[in-house]
Structure 1
Amino acid sequence: MDSALLEIKGLHTSFNTFDGRVRAVDGVDLTVHAGKTLCVVGESGCGKSVTARSILRLVEDSGSVDAGTITWHGGDEPFDILSLDAKDRRLAKLRGGDIGMIFQEPMASLLPLRTIGAQLVETIRIHTGMGRRAARERAIELLGQVGIPKPHERIDAYPFQLSGGMCQRAMIAIALCANPSLLIADEPTTALDVTTQARILDLIRSLQAEHRMAVMFITHDLGVVAELADEVAVMYLGRVVERAAVDELFADPKHPYTKALLASVPVLGRDRGRDLPTIPGAVPNPLHRPSGCSFHPRCAEAVAGTCDVEAPPEVDFDGRTAECVLYADREGAAA
């Protein structure tokens, strides 16, 4: 495994709501390795996007990062992103420079009253110091690189004049304009047709190989995970419940939640005539978290008197981890 580029330890992020304080991220530990792809997978509302936004300190005004460290190893000296002052130049350099981000909804992320080119040129100039003419030439080059036809014409188009797939490609161009060491892709294929999805995934994979960048890919699609990931982190209700290399995770899932997710994926020709397995119930309200293991109300392997009382330990399986009491007696388990 290559060296760590980004390390997240004990991350807690919460939000004020009318009903109370909500813990969206509840002690997340993650590591992104240089040149590798980490897929963060889980149901909607499990904290994937909030974790990504916390890295760049882009949490909404109603929220805050309450604890933890996010260490960046991509510069001359490692530093904790969360310890930086809001006006620190290192933070400005990270956002869109060392770390590029593709947001989930391109139509909501792009400014509707400015052309694609104006937004791209501005980002290029901020992070590279290019003149306006050189930045425009670079913008046209980037639009062509991400597969937008006739980039010299499309550069003057407004977001509403482009399709969803084209807007997503424009977002990718903006994220890549400063040749980042890490690309964070927050469900970049959501709401796109399957053909466009495949093209976006192929594009990200080819750009990663070309620029040798790391990718943190956020998704709920296990098919995408199998295709892209080197490592996988499975999240549930704000916590990472299992971490493993992609082949290990699919071949031998440890956590009951991971097993249930994989069992619910339809496979052509398998179990014809039977109902598709589902996970009973729904994700609990984060304001009213279950005691003990947060997954125990929906878990087919829950141990009464233990899972509903005790927080599960994180168990190490020779480099991969799972939070589950089923393995609590395994040597090396850490509370």
Structure 2
Amino acid sequence: MSEPLLEISGLKTGFDTYDGRVRAVDGVDLTVHAGKTLCVVGESGCGKSVTARSILRLVEAPGSIDAGSIVWRGDPEPFDVLELDVSDKRLAKLRGGDVGMIFQEPAASLLPLRTIGAQLIETIRIHTGADKKAARARAIDLLDQVGIPRPEQRVDAFPFQLSGGMCQRAMIAIALCANPSLLIADEPTTALDVTTQARILDLIRSLQAEYRMAVMFITHDLGVVAELADEVAVMYLGKVVERAGVEELFADPKHPYTKRLLHSVPVLGRDRGRDLPTIPGTVPNPLHRPKGCSFHPRCAEAIAGTCDLDEPPEIDFGGGRTAQCVLYADREGATA
């Protein structure tokens, strides 16, 4: 395994609402290794996107980061992102420089009244110091790299003049402006058709090999996980309930939630003529978290009097593999 590039420990992020404080991220521990792909998977509402935004401190009011540490090890001197002042140059360098981010909705992330080229050129000049002419040439080259046809013309196009797939490619180009060490992709294929999704995934994989960057890929699609991941973190209601290498996870899932996620994936020929397997119920409202294990109301393996009362221990299976579940509490390495 390569050296850790980013280490998140005990991260807690919440939002103030009229009904109370919502804990969107509740004690997350994650490690992203240099040159590797970490896929963060889970249903909608499990805290994946908020975790990603917390890394770059892009959580806006009424949200705030309440606790934890986010240690960036991509510089000669590691530092905790959460300890930086908002005016610190290291934070500005991190955002869009060392760490590039592809947001979930390109149409909402690109400025509608500025051309694609203007947005690329501004980012390039901020992070590289290039003059306007050199930045424009770099912008055209990036658009060509991400597969946008006629980049010399498209560089002057507005977002509304491009298709959804082209806007997503433009977002990827912006994220790559400063040759980042880490690319965070927040469900970048959700709003795209299947063919375009496959092309975007192929693009990210080829760019990762070219730039030798780490990737943190957020998704709810286990097919994407199987195709891209080196490591997988499964999130449920703001917590990481299982971490494992991708082959280990698919071959021998430990947490009941992971098992049900994998079981619900359609398999060609297996499910013909019968209803698709599903996980009963929905992700609970974070304002009204179940007592004990958050997954117990939906879990077929829940133990009455234990899972509905006590927080599950985190079990260390070795080799960086963990699961938070009482079913393995008698193993060595269990921690409360």
TM-score class, shorter-chain normalisation, is over 0.9
Taking structure 2 as the reference length, the TM-score comes to 0.99
SS in 2 for 1:218: strand
Is 1:200 the counterpart of 2:200? The answer is: yes
* Equivalent position of 2:292 in the other structure: 292
* Equivalent position of 1:303 in the other structure: 303
CA drift at 1:318: 1.4
* Equivalent position of 1:139 in the other structure: 139
Amino-acid identity (%) = 84
Give the total of aligned pairs: 335
CA drift at 1:272: 3.2
CA drift at 1:271: 4.1
Distance in 2 between residues matched to 1:18 and 1:318, nearest whole Å: 43
* Equivalent position of 1:9 in the other structure: 9
Aligned AA (2:5): L
Aligned AA (2:334): A
Distance in 2 between residues matched to 1:53 and 1:31, nearest whole Å: 16
CA deviations 1:220-256 (Å, max 9, x no partner) are 0000000000000000000000000000000000000
Distance in 2 between residues matched to 1:90 and 1:318, nearest whole Å: 34
Distance in 2 between residues matched to 1:198 and 1:275, nearest whole Å: 27
Distance in 2 between residues matched to 1:279 and 1:117, nearest whole Å: 45
Is 1:118 the counterpart of 2:115? The answer is: no
* Equivalent position of 1:104 in the other structure: 104
* Equivalent position of 1:81 in the other structure: 81
Aligned AA (2:117): G
CA deviations 1:114-156 (Å, max 9, x no partner) are 0000000000000000000000000000000000000000000
Distance in 2 between residues matched to 1:60 and 1:178, nearest whole Å: 25
Aligned AA (1:309): L
* Equivalent position of 1:66 in the other structure: 66
Distance in 2 between residues matched to 1:271 and 1:223, nearest whole Å: 16
* Equivalent position of 1:327 in the other structure: 328
CA deviations 1:201-231 (Å, max 9, x no partner) are 0000000000100000000000000000000
Residues 1-335 of structure 1 mapped to structure 2, 5 A cutoff:
1-319=1-319, 320-335=321-336
SS in 2 for 1:315: strand
CA drift at 1:270: 1.1
Superposed CA RMSD: 0.6
What runs of 5+ residues in structure 2 fail to find an aligned partner?
Answer: none
Distance in 2 between residues matched to 1:173 and 1:272, nearest whole Å: 41
Distance in 2 between residues matched to 1:103 and 1:184, nearest whole Å: 8
What runs of 5+ residues in structure 1 fail to find an aligned partner?
Answer: none
Distance in 2 between residues matched to 1:273 and 1:254, nearest whole Å: 29
Distance in 2 between residues matched to 1:280 and 1:199, nearest whole Å: 33
